[in-house]
Amino acid sequence: MSGGSHLGSWLSALADGQLAPAETERALSHVAVCLACARELDAARAARRALTSARDVQPDPALVQRLMALQASIPPADSDPLRSPLRPGPAYSGAWAPAYAGDADYSGNLARRARRGRAARLAAFGAGGLGMLGLTLFALGDSPVVSPDLSAQASMSLLGRAGQHEAAPGEDVLARLDVGGQGTTAEALAWVAENGWVAPTGLPDGFQVSALRLLGDEGQVLEIDLTGPHGTAVVRQQVGRLQAGVTAGAGTTAAVSAVQVPGHDVVLLAQDPAHVAWQADDVVVDVVAEVPDDVLADLVAAFPGRGYDAGVLPRIARGWTNVTGAIASP
């Protein structure tokens, strides 16, 4: 660290994973005991996550119907002048029949040829416009790559400020909902589902939602803090696709192994405390928890586990909702 007792110029390098292992451990040890530096580090990491998820919008299931409606506006092949320029008229009587004005293609009627040329250009423009629309939506539908923080210090920091902690960053959604008592968990999970995030079908026995926060400048990350008789868990969600071959630190490959939960392709990122992640449609879910293994498995199973769909139509759907979301935003 430089120039005093705080991180100083090390803060940006730590957020980017550019410090040497020894320097990283030293900086993270300082963050664990320094509230000011912890807040600055969270803000720096949130800014970096915001840059990778600036266009994230949940896909619109009605996109295919809209595209089919656009396709229906293109003239069929039978009336397309580009596809049948030499089709004979009703008076055609043979290969050597003489042409006459108003029927044959080579009559010398310049006005007729001009009309045919305009029709051909309009048809080509319609087909080309639809193709450009599809390519544009396909490009806009690419999802950002999400790489969870693998450090034990970051996981311990999450668990340490779980619940209604004064040092916790982000917007307190529960305060906005103005709920309390027995209805807090139900209201919180209903809000999660209504706002396009991944909501669990239920929680393990005794677990309640103790905090619900939106992190980042535009609320790109959702944090759900859970407390129960067996311990504490922090669930984070972010729109994107889970990075393949997750790395720990600068250029070091993390040893990961699969966690067996039916219907989920779960990856174990760390063991002390337990840190797992998986894909649920277009959202990456990662959980840090200090609970027994069977309770962790029940918690993971409560959330959806559908994988990321990288197909053409789903990607075009994501692009369409990105466009409509940007237009609808104030």
Q: How far apart are CA 160 and CA 206, in angstroms?
A: 20
HSE value, Cβ hemisphere, 13 Å, CA-based, for 268: 15
pLDDT higher than 90, residue 299: yes
31-53 confidence digits (pLDDT tens): 888 888 888 888 888 887 777 76
Q: Which residue has the higher pLDDT, 265 or 138?
A: 265
- pLDDT above 70 covers a percentage of the chain that reads 60
Buried/exposed 89-114: b ≥16 CB within 10 Å, e otherwise: eeeeeeeeeeeeeeebeeeeeeeeee
Integer CA distances (angstroms), 105 to 27, 70, 95, 113, in order: 81, 31, 14, 8
Averaged pLDDT for residues 170-178: 85
Q: 52 with 243: CB under 8 angstroms?
A: no
Q: Give residue 199's pLDDT.
A: 92
Q: Give residue 223's pLDDT.
A: 95
Integer CA distances (angstroms), 120 to 108, 129, 231, in order: 19, 14, 70
190-247 confidence digits (pLDDT tens): 999 998 899 999 899 999 999 999 998 888 899 999 999 999 999 999 988 887 765 4
Q: Give residue 258's pLDDT.
A: 47
Q: How far apart are CA 31 and CA 16, in angstroms?
A: 15
Q: 209 with 185: CB under 8 angstroms?
A: yes
**Which of these, 156, 291, 157, lies nearest to 228 by C-alpha position?**
291
Q: Residue 90: pLDDT band by 50, 70, 90 thresholds? A: very low
Which of 96-100, 111-115, 189-193, 207-211 is the least confident region?
96-100
Which of 18-27, 53-62, 111-120, 229-238 is the least confident region?
111-120
Q: Residue 317: pLDDT band by 50, 70, 90 thresholds? A: low
Burial tier of 51 (Cβ tally within 10 Å: 0-12, 13-18, 19+): exposed
Which of 3-7, 165-169, 180-184, 260-264 is the least confident region?
3-7
pLDDT higher than 70, residue 109: no
Integer CA distances (angstroms), 88 to 76, 97, 104, 116, in order: 18, 11, 7, 15
Q: Give residue 92's pLDDT.
A: 43
pLDDT higher than 80, residue 272: yes
Helix axes 110-140, 312-328, angle to 10 degrees: 90
Question: pTM of the full predicted structure?
Answer: 0.53
List phi, psi (to 5°) of 257: -140, 155
Q: 200 with 190: CB under 8 angstroms?
A: no
pLDDT higher than 80, residue 57: no
Looking at residue 1, its amino acid is M
Q: Domain 148-307's class? A: alpha beta
- Helical spans, DSSP H, in the chain: 10-15, 21-33, 35-52, 63-72, 110-140, 152-160, 173-177, 184-194, 293-302, 312-328
Q: Give residue 178's pLDDT.
A: 73
Q: Give residue 200's pLDDT.
A: 94
